[in-house]
Amino acid sequence: MDLTRFLEAAHSFGWRGMALWGVLLAQALLWVGLVRLHWTIHREEAPWEECIGKIRSALLRAVNGAEEQSELRVHRYAPLVDRMVAVHFAEQGGEVFTRWLLLRWKIKEGLRPHWIRWGHLLIAFGIVVWFLHGLRMDIGFEPLRRTPCDPRLLWVWLGYSMVLAWKLVRLQGQLERVQRALLLPRREE
């Protein structure tokens, strides 16, 4: 990237140059927000096969099942999985349908902040693209090419935000597998 070219454009275009600094700041905030979302989703990832296997083993085993269940209560996989296991053991004496609703609610409640943050980032992306399009109409695309304000960088950002959306959907599927293992454990899933 050519930083001197960006500084020259920001200096020579007057108020449009100030707008370029605003676009640069907005793009930096978009990247920071995306990286923070990536790490919060990464924190929710658990060793899924081990987690589901231990849950099924603890709930299906007749011999040493109580020991495995007590170990399962204190084991830490991921924050959402741990909350689901805690709800399951707190409501163990209730009906299956009630526990199913509570666990489903925990999944939705746990994933909602991630989806909301992702949605806010997409709205901010739209605003930055709209603003950058206006600047591009005023000063053209050539002064922005190969600078930190290059609009093509935003498409890389959008691609990775779509990857994070796919990870959120996959996380929801894995949490539903944990829910099934807690409610109706089967020997083979």
Give the pLDDT of residue 15. 56
Q: Report residue 6's pLDDT band, with 50, 70 and 90 as the boundaries.
A: low
Give the pLDDT of residue 9. 57
Give the pLDDT of residue 172. 94
Give the pLDDT of residue 189. 52
Give the pLDDT of residue 175. 92
The per-residue pLDDT for range 139-179, each reduced to its tens digit, is: 656 656 556 666 777 888 889 999 999 999 999 999 999 89
Min mean pLDDT across 31-45, 65-79, 157-171 is at 65-79
> Is the pLDDT reported for residue 186 higher than 70?
no
**What HEC string does the chain produce?**
CCHHHHHHHHHHCCHHHHHHHHHHHHHHHHHHHHHHHHHHHHHHCCCHHHHHHHHHHHHHCCCCHHHHHHHHHHCCCCHHHHHHHHHHHHCCCCCHHHHHHHHHHHHHHHHHHHHHHHHHHHHHHHHHHHHHHHHHHHHCCHHHCCCCCCCHHHHHHHHHHHHHHHHHHHHHHHHHHHHHHHHCCCCCC
Give the pLDDT of residue 24. 77
